[in-house]
Amino acid sequence: MTFKDCVVPVRNVVGEEGQGLEIFLGELEASRVFVAASSLGTAERALEESIEYAKNRVTFGKPIAQRESIRALLADMAMDIYGLRLMLEDVAKKIDEGKPCSLEASITKTHALETVCRVVTDKAMEVFGGRSYLQSYPIERLLRDARLNVLEEGTPTIQRLVTARALLSGELPYSFPW
């Protein structure tokens, strides 16, 4: 959007005049975490669907869930999801406590995008095989949902720039207890 010669009545100004960008950027932390949470939900659903499919899809006389390659895919999906869940819990706690966490929010969003793409577009699609492209199977929709999150609240490239800038200015996403 571009505003030219736009007059805003004083009663409609959020914060102080000239602080709009700072207020907007302050809200990005929570918004990035929401995108990460959406990615987590998509990944969890993909795992649930993959487990159910693997138990019921029979090839060469046995469910594909009995095949080691499928079990490895499911295990990898679960590990990715668990790690993302822990990251989200940490950054959400910081937001709830009113602590600054732009670095953590950026890292979590980037990790969430990579996780959901790995889980859905790599692992779940492999479990479902060619059927993952069919609209009659849920993975097709989850694939579109996973990719959509990449476009929200800054691309992974932007998130990496934000993360690197914070790291180079001395921030760390963790602290040592000693």
120-137 average pLDDT score = 92
pLDDT-derived band at 128 (thresholds 50, 70, 90) equals very high
User: Domain for residue 50, yes or no?
Assistant: yes
The single residue of 29, 49, 104, 153 carrying the catalytic annotation is 153
pLDDT above 60 for 39 = yes
What is the DSSP secondary structure assignment for residue 99, as one 8-state letter? Answer: -
User: Domain for residue 15, yes or no?
Assistant: no
At residue 22, the pLDDT reads 61
- What angle, 0 to 180 degrees and rounded to 10, lies between the N-to-C axes of helices 102-116 and 156-168? 140
Percent of the chain with pLDDT over 90: 53
Which residues on adjacent β-strands are paired with residue 59? Answer: 62
Q: How many CB atoms lie within 10 A of CB 31?
A: 15
Structural domain count, the chain = 1
User: Domain for residue 16, yes or no?
Assistant: no
Domain that holds residue 138: 30-168
At residue 42, the pLDDT reads 95
User: Domain for residue 9, yes or no?
Assistant: no
Backbone angles phi and psi of 136, in degrees to 5:
-75, -5
Mark whether 153 is an active-site residue.
yes
- 8 A C-beta contact, residue 37 and residue 111: no
Closest CA to 99 of 107, 91, 88: 91
User: Domain for residue 99, yes or no?
Assistant: yes
At residue 19, the pLDDT reads 65
pLDDT above 90 for 116 = yes
User: Domain for residue 67, yes or no?
Assistant: yes
User: Any idea what the CATH number is for the domain that residue 84 is in?
Assistant: 1.20.140.10
User: Domain for residue 155, yes or no?
Assistant: yes
- 8 A C-beta contact, residue 121 and residue 140: no
At residue 36, the pLDDT reads 94
At residue 79, the pLDDT reads 98
User: Domain for residue 124, yes or no?
Assistant: yes
pLDDT-derived band at 100 (thresholds 50, 70, 90) equals confident
pLDDT above 80 for 34 = yes
